[in-house]
Amino acid sequence: MRKIKVAPFMPTEVEVNEISENRAQITAYPFESGYAVTLAHPLRRLILGSSIGYAPISVKIEGAAHEFDNIRGMHEDVAVFIINLKNIRFKIKDESDRVEVSYSFAGHKEVTAQDLNNDLVEVVNGDLPLATLNEDAELNFTVVISKGIGYVPSENLRDEVANDAIALDAFFTPVRKANYAIEPVLVEDNPSFEKIIFDIVTDAQIGPVEAFTNALEVMNKQLSIFNGVLDVDISTAPIKKSSDESELKPFLQTVDSLGLSARSFNSLDRAGIKYLGELVLMSENEIKNIKNLGKKSLDEINECLVEHGFGEDYDLSDVTRAHLVKKLEQLKQ
């Protein structure tokens, strides 16, 4: 007989299998039926879309004005050179957000990705070809390498690169593959539980386990916006008419009862501010930006807030703030 539950089963097992430097499988179980895919799908998207990598965002080639140009003595067209360059995966050694690196090659040479290693950057796929030079060739170019996430097309980068440089499509994502499988797992003779198996492959800019933990951190940070709901649900929490009303009373004084000068009152009135609580909820910059509010009026309003106990040191709790916002909305309807 199926038991009545009051909470979903909490998974208890996690296993990390590092198959190689660039590939790992991460397994977690047991999940209630349906919970595995609910968690696995957004995590997969975050692994692919939020993992930080490095990519060249622009290149300036001596003797080439645009990507359809040619370089004397170089077998490849500039367009092919750029394609080869975009396929090279860099790492910035000092973890800076952006570096500019210059290179110079001359004479007969097969230039490969490993030739771009230096004190500033490391190439993780050094066997890729870049250019083929003849005896009389001279190739000088400067690459800007940046840290980022996802994919940014070259047209969105034109404002960030030098006028004489060629903007490049930037493929920052260091994750080559992020798949998951969901398999049944037995828990106390119940076969309806599930297991998630993530299979992650990276390009060696970062490791697969690092990509997974980064995705978890991003998910936690994104979900933290809802932390306030744990304190109060503004949409459903009613304003109690006993203690809460008395608590809010100091905030509900009307602006015309505060003894402000006509100039200050008129500025607030034109801005639609009717209650002291509205000023308490506003930041100093928001008050400064009230239209036609001069320096003297600003000072007068700040003095008024201090007189009523709402100076800079006043700490408005999240619960009181939520009730105040809801009450003011009701009053101004």
What pLDDT, in 10s, does the model give residues 183-210?
Answer: 999 888 888 899 999 999 999 999 999 9
Q: What is the pLDDT of residue 270?
A: 86
Q: What is the pLDDT of residue 184?
A: 93
Range scoring the smallest mean pLDDT among 96-100, 191-195, 303-307: 303-307
pLDDT digits (tens, 9 = 90+) for 256-280: 888 888 888 888 888 888 888 888 8
Location of structure tokens 């304003």: 239
The fold for domain 243-331 equals DNA polymerase; domain 1 (1.10.150)
Range scoring the smallest mean pLDDT among 107-116, 160-169, 260-269: 260-269
CA distance 320 to 302: 21
Sequence length of the chain is 333
CA distance 326 to 178: 44
pLDDT digits (tens, 9 = 90+) for 56-85: 999 999 999 888 889 999 999 999 999 999
- 31-44: average pLDDT: 94
Its sign, for the CA torsion 326, 331, 332, 333, is positive
CATH 2.170.120.12 residue ranges of the chain are: 53-171
Q: Which residue has the higher pLDDT, 291 or 109?
A: 109
Ramachandran region, residue 188 (left: φ > 0; alpha: ψ -120 to 50; beta: rest): left
Strand partners, 133: 74, 109
The set of residues, in sequence order, having a beta carbon less than 8 Å from that of 213 and lying 6+ positions away, is none
CATH 1.10.150.20 residue ranges of the chain are: 243-331
What rounded mean pLDDT belongs to the chain?
Answer: 87
pTM of the model: 0.64
Residue type, 164: D
Quickly state the pLDDT bin for 241 (edges 50, 70, 90): very low
CA distance 172 to 147: 7
Q: What is the pLDDT of residue 2?
A: 56
Q: What is the pLDDT of residue 5?
A: 73
Q: What is the pLDDT of residue 246?
A: 64
Range scoring the smallest mean pLDDT among 19-23, 240-244, 315-319, 324-328: 240-244
The pairing of beta strand 90-92 with beta strand 151-152: unpaired
Most confident of 170-179, 218-227, 287-296: 170-179
Q: What is the pLDDT of residue 207?
A: 94
The continuous run of DSSP H or E covering 13 comes out as strand 13-18
The set of residues, in sequence order, having a beta carbon less than 8 Å from that of 219 and lying 6+ positions away, is 42, 43, 46
Q: What is the pLDDT of residue 280?
A: 86
- Torsions phi, psi of 62, nearest 5? -65, 125
Write out the CATH class of domain 53-171. mainly beta
The fold for domain 13-51+175-229 equals Gyrase A; domain 2 (3.30.1360)
Asked if pLDDT for residue 35 goes beyond 70, the answer is yes
Asked if pLDDT for residue 240 goes beyond 50, the answer is no
CATH 3.30.1360.10 residue ranges of the chain are: 13-51+175-229
Q: Which residue has the higher pLDDT, 96 or 2?
A: 96
Q: What is the pLDDT of residue 245?
A: 59
